């Protein structure tokens, strides 16, 4: 997002939040009814429009239109696949199970028409030069868009009639999302996808490149969709209307880079704002806090991070640093640049959400001030870590403790869990050796910390340490953790492993 | 918000006088083939993308045979401050095919590239821009 987009989103978010405030003042009157009816539609429409507006340009013709359209199609398809309720599991009461999602056929049909109408309107700007275009390039012909919509409707229809085999359908969708993910993150596969798309658009196949396919926010959208599919399968997902579901998946503040919210938490904010004086005060606080977070985020991202980017480690300057000191300057600059860039973006997203009346989850909690690596990963990109913990680490270790590896020791189970989790988080950024090594670096650090903690706890306790000694040890731990993380970024930022090794040698005086 | 965003993205400069013998972009009607987009407007967008070194936009406005050249043209101004001066493009109605399968556009004005503080104008009127109709839209496909 650039500053102009942030300003426009903030204005829109203030409108959505203003509608909420309007309803809190007039609990039973017409304004309340109007605000309650209009706000959800505005938020849905704005999020869909943002999906197209924020999509970056691509050299493949019309792909900047088709990718957001595919996002909407996948979202609707996943919603259809979660229509039939699942029995509650894990001790939940039956009334907490996912209820029937076709709560109102008329409302669902209207929502579907609104979504289709917005997409058609965006496509129609192709024919009006003065209005063209919300997307970076001219959208495809309206006939092609019509065919795509009918195809999506047909696929959703098939999914609807496949409700009897719901778990198989959901498993297929998870597989599809993961396959798309792998295709988009693996360079040779992405180049192949580009070649196929270019042949369809009549463009030069010889110019195909992995850089051609840039799908805005696909990773985060996939995380939300997989979370919904998994939670529905275990009976933990509440009933969501189509409008609520689509708004949750493509909510405009969190579209590009999260945070990854949970559907059940999100819809509470979307649905519920109670009338009364306390609610009005809470709404006023939302506005001030939202604006504060946006300003902090803009400063962090556009002032601090963009300035640090001038001296932060990258492929080019890694080979130019001739001394160890300058190599450390590059590494430190990158560590802080990455933090301020990512946390700044999160501040903007949370601020926009707060203005809209939605409290998105926090993603950072002073990660570089943590005294061990476990606490670092509980405070860096928290929503991503929580997602992997919930949908990979915990199920895997649970399975290893029971059916899968009853003969494995607890430390072996932890090693497998941490190694696979961190490697997956690494290659989530891209299926390359350097990202895998970065993941393994952190897996090793986490395991070492786990074993160290277990050993410390096994020792008999002694007299309490002096306060100053405790603080000194804590400071050393914080410094050690920070440097471990900072050195890990070398793997992350340099795609060539040899270049990373050369930089490590320079950092340590070789 | 959607209307605001579309309005912002649709801001257009005031129309200027067209090259002699050509039909100005603002006054042109759509070719009978029903191809979307105005050929002169496509070339104007292509030139704007060129001075911005916006490779993706140039490729999207180019035919398959021209894509490699479009990349070269984009790279030629990368790292250089460039701007358009007095650009006006118009269809060369005499040269364009009546069946609407191809069109020629003539432009006047300059691309002004700044090299170390020195402005160097690159005139736009030395060549005709050739466009072909492909996939329902006009695409830049070379020079004549």
Return the minimum-mean-pLDDT range out of A157-161, A466-470, B92-96, B101-105: B92-96
B5: contact with A, CB 8 A cutoff: yes
Task: Test A59 with B56 for CB contact under 8 angstroms.
Answer: yes
Residue A392 CA: distances (Å) to CA of A109, A310, A374, A429, B61: 36, 37, 17, 17, 44
State both tokens at A397: 């270790």
**pLDDT for res A126:** 84
Contact A334, A492 (CB under 8 A): no
pLDDT band at B61 (very low <50, low <70, confident <90, very high): very high
List CB contacts (< 8 A) between B138 and chain A.
none
List the single residue in A with minimal CA-CA distance to B36.
Answer: A127
- Residue identified by tokens 């104007």 is B44
The pLDDT score that the predictor gives to residue B11 is: 41
Q: Using DSSP, how many helices (H) and how many strands (E) does chain B show?
A: 4, 6
Find, among A359, A493, A339, A350, the residue nearest to A426 by Cα.
Answer: A493
Put simply, whether B100 touches A (Cβ < 8 Å) is no
Q: B59 and A133: CB-CB below 8 Å?
A: no
Q: What is the pLDDT of residues B32-46, one digit of tens each?
A: 456 767 899 899 999
B6 touches chain A (CB under 8 A): yes
Contact B68 A207 (CB under 8 A): yes
User: Which of B40, B56, B69, B133 to mutate against chain A (most A CBs within 10 Å)?
Assistant: B56
User: What b/e string do you get for B118-136 counting C-beta neighbours within 10 Å, with b at 16 or more?
Assistant: eeeeeebeeebbbbbbbbb
User: For the ranges A205-219, A279-293, A475-489, which has the lowest average pLDDT?
Assistant: A279-293
Within 8 A by CB and 6+ apart from A303, the residues are: none
Q: State the Cα–Cα distance between residues A153 and A162, nearest whole angstrom.
A: 14
Complex confidence, ipTM: 0.74
Q: Angle A424-A240-A224 (CA atoms, 0-180°, nearest 5)?
A: 15
What pLDDT, on the 0 to 100 scale, is given for residue B7? Answer: 42
pLDDT band at A98 (very low <50, low <70, confident <90, very high): very low
What pLDDT, on the 0 to 100 scale, is given for residue B9? 39
Which range scores top for mean pLDDT: A183-197, A399-413, A447-461?
Answer: A183-197
DSSP code for B125 = T
CA-based angle B89:B93:B95, to the nearest 5?
100
CB contact under 8 A, A202 and B64: yes
Q: Which member of B9, B56, B136 has the closest CB to residue A134?
A: B9
**Is residue B142 within a helix (H) or strand (E), and if so which, with residue range?**
strand B137-143
Note the pTM of the prediction, 2 decimals.
0.87
Query: Which of B4, B60, B69 to probe by mutation at the A interface, max A CB count within 10 Å?
Result: B60
- How much is the pLDDT for B13? 40
User: Which residues from chain B sit within 8 angstroms of residue A141, using beta carbons?
Assistant: 36, 135-136
Q: Is B41 on the interface with A (CB under 8 A)?
A: yes
Q: Which two three-digit tokens encode residue A431?
A: 């299926």
B13 compared with A262, residue with greater pLDDT: A262
pLDDT score recorded for residue A104? 81
Nearest CB to A207 within list B36, B37, B67: B67
What is the chain B residue with the closest CA to A11?
B1
The share of chain A scoring above pLDDT 70, in percent, equals 91
Average pLDDT, chain A: 89
Structure tokens at A437: 């090594």
Q: What is the percent of chain A with per-residue pLDDT over 90, rounded to a whole number? A: 67
Q: How far is B20 from chain A (nearest CA, A)?
A: 24
From chain A, pick out residues whose CB is under 8 angstroms from the CB of B134: 202
Buried (b) or exposed (e) across A267-292, using 16+ Cβ within 10 A? bebbeebeeeeebeebbeebbeebbe
pLDDT at position B15 is: 43
Asked whether the beta carbons of residue A11 and residue B1 sit closer than 8 angstroms, the reply is yes
Nearest CA distance, B135 vs chain A (angstrom)? 8
Query: Which pair of tokens denotes residue A315?
Result: 């492929």
CA distance A331 to chain B (A): 27
Query: Chain B contacts of A202, Cβ < 8 Å?
Result: 64, 134-135
Task: Give the closest of A46, A57, A138 to B137, CB-based.
Answer: A138
Q: Give the pLDDT confidence of A377-433 residue by residue, as tens digits.
A: 999 999 999 999 999 999 999 999 887 656 888 899 999 999 999 999 999 999 999
Q: Which residues of chain B lie closer than 8 angstroms to A49, CB-CB?
A: 1-2, 5
pLDDT the model gives residue B98: 57
Q: What is the pLDDT of residue A425?
A: 95
| Chains A & B: contacts with CB separation below 8 Å | 77
Structure tokens belonging to residue A467? 């306060």
Check pLDDT > 70 for residue A24.
no
A32 or A239: whose pLDDT is higher?
A239
Under DSSP, the state recorded for A27 is S
Question: Rounded to whole angstroms, how far apart are CA atoms A274 and A288?
Answer: 19
Kindly determine whether residue A131 and residue B68, on different chains, have CB atoms separated by under 8 Å. no
**Chain A residues near any Cβ of chain B (below 8 Å):** 4, 8-9, 11-12, 15, 42, 45-46, 49, 53, 57-59, 61, 118, 125-127, 129-134, 136-138, 141, 201-204, 207
Name the DSSP class of A139: -
Say whether pLDDT at A451 is over 90.
Answer: yes
CB contact under 8 A, B5 and A126: no
Residue of A20, A69, A21, A14 whose CA lies nearest to A40: A20
Which residue in A49, A201, A203 is closest to B2 by CB distance?
A: A49
Residue among B41, B56, B59 whose CB faces A129 most closely: B41
Q: What is the DSSP letter of A125?
A: G
Asked whether residue A5 carries a pLDDT value surpassing 70, the answer given is yes
Under an 8 A CB cutoff, do A45 and B137 touch? no
Q: Which residue has better confidence, B144 or A344?
A: A344
Dump the DSSP string for A325-372: HHHHHHHHHHHHHHHHHHHHHHHHHHHHHHHHT--PPP--S-GGG-SS
Confidence of residue A26 (pLDDT cuts 50, 70, 90): low
Note whether B29 contacts A: Cβ–Cβ < 8 A: no
CB contact under 8 A, A134 and B134: no
Of B5, B60, B65, the CB nearest to A59: B60
Region B87-92: mean pLDDT is: 91
A345-375 pLDDT, tens digit per residue, is 999 999 999 999 899 999 999 999 999 999 9
Mean of pLDDT values over A427-447: 95
pLDDT at B30: 44
pLDDT in tens, A265-288: 999 888 865 556 677 777 888 899
| Weakest mean pLDDT among A209-213, A299-303, A439-443, B77-81 | B77-81
pLDDT of residue A8: 92
Query: Which of B4, B41, B57 lies nearest to residue A137, judging by beta carbons?
Result: B57
Distance from CA of A29 to the nearest CA of B (A): 26
Q: Which residue of B has its CA nearest to A58?
A: B56
Instruction: Please check whether residue B55 touches A, CB under 8 A.
Output: yes
What's the average model confidence in pLDDT over A225-251? 92
Q: Which residues of B touch A214 (CB under 8 A)?
A: none
Contact A20, A163 (CB under 8 A): no
Distance CA B17, CA A39 (A): 47
How confident is the model at residue B99, as a pLDDT?
63
Report helix, strand or coil for B16.
coil
pLDDT band at A90 (very low <50, low <70, confident <90, very high): low
Q: Which of A77, A11, A1 is nearest to A46 (CA)?
A: A11
pLDDT, average across residues A68-73: 96
Gap between the Cα atoms of A163 and A404, Å rounded: 30
């Amino acid at each position: 997002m650039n500053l102009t987009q942030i300003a426009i989103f903030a204005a829109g978010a203030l409108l959505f939040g203003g509608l909420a405030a309007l309803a809190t003042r007039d609990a039973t009157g017409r304004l309340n009814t109007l605000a309650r009816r209009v706000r959800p539609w505005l938020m849905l429409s704005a999020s869909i429009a943002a999906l197209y507006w924020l999509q970056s340009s691509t050299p493949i013709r019309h792909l900047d239109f088709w990718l957001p359209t595919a996002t909407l199609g996948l979202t609707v398809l996943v919603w259809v696949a979660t229509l039939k309720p699942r029995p509650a599991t894990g001790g939940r009461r039956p009334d907490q199970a996912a209820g029937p999602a076709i709560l109102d056929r008329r409302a669902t049909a209207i929502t579907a028409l609104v979504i289709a109408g917005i997409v058609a309107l965006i496509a129609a700007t192709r024919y009006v030069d003065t209005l063209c275009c919300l997307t970076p390039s001219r959208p495809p012909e309206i006939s092609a868009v019509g065919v795509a919509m009918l195809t999506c409707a047909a696929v959703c229809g098939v999914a609807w009639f496949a409700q009897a085999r719901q778990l198989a359908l959901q498993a297929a969708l998870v597989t599809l999302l993961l396959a798309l993910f792998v295709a988009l993150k693996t360079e040779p596969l992405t180049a192949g996808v580009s070649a196929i798309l270019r042949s369809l658009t009549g463009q030069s196949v010889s110019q195909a490149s992995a850089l051609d396919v840039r799908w805005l926010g696909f990773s985060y959208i996939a995380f939300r969709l997989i979370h919904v599919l998994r939670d529905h399968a275990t009976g933990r997902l509440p009933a969501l209307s189509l409008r609520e579901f689509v708004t949750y998946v493509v909510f405009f503040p969190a579209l590009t880079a999260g945070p990854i919210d949970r559907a059940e938490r999100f819809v509470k904010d979307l649905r519920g704002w109670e009338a009364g004086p306390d609610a009005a005060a809470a709404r006023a606080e939302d506005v001030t806090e939202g604006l504060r977070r946006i300003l902090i985020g803009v400063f962090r991202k556009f002032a601090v991070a963009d300035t640090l980017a001038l001296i932060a480690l990258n492929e080019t300057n890694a080979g130019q640093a001739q001394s160890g000191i300058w190599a450390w300057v590059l590494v430190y600059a990158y560590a802080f640049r990455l933090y301020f860039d990512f946390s700044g973006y999160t501040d903007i997203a949370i601020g926009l959400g707060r203005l809209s009346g939605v409290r998105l989850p926090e993603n950072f909690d002073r990660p570089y001030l943590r005294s061990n690596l476990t606490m670092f990963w509980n405070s860096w990109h928290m929503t991503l870590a929580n997602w992997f913990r919930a949908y990979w680490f915990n199920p895997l270790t649970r399975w290893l403790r029971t059916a899968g590896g009853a003969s494995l020791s607890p430390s072996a189970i932890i090693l497998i869990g941490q190694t696979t989790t961190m490697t997956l988080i690494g290659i989530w950024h891209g299926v390359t050796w350097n990202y895998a090594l970065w993941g393994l670096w952190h897996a090793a650090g986490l395991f070492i910390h786990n074993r160290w903690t277990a050993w410390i706890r096994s020792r008999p306790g002694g007299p309490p340490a002096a306060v100053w000694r405790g603080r000194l040890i804590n400071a050393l731990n914080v410094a050690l953790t920070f440097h471990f993380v900072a050195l890990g970024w070398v793997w992350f930022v340099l795609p060539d492993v040899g270049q990373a090794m050369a930089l490590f040698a320079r950092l340590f005086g070789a | 918000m959607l209307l605001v965003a579309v309005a912002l993205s649709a801001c257009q400069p005031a129309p200027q006088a067209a090259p002699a013998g050509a039909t100005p972009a603002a006054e042109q009607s759509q070719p009978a083939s029903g191809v979307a987009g105005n050929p002169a407007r496509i070339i104007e967008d292509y030139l704007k993308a060129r001075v911005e070194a916006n490779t993706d936009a140039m490729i999207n406005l180019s035919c398959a045979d021209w894509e490699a050249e479009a990349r070269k043209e984009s790279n030629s101004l990368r790292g250089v401050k460039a701007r358009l001066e007095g650009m006006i493009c118009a269809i060369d109605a005499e040269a364009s095919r009546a069946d609407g399968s191809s069109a020629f556009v003539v432009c006047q004005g300059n691309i002004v590239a700044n090299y170390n503080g020195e402005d160097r104008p690159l005139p736009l009127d030395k060549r005709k821009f050739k466009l072909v109709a492909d996939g329902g839209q006009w695409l830049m496909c070379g020079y004549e």
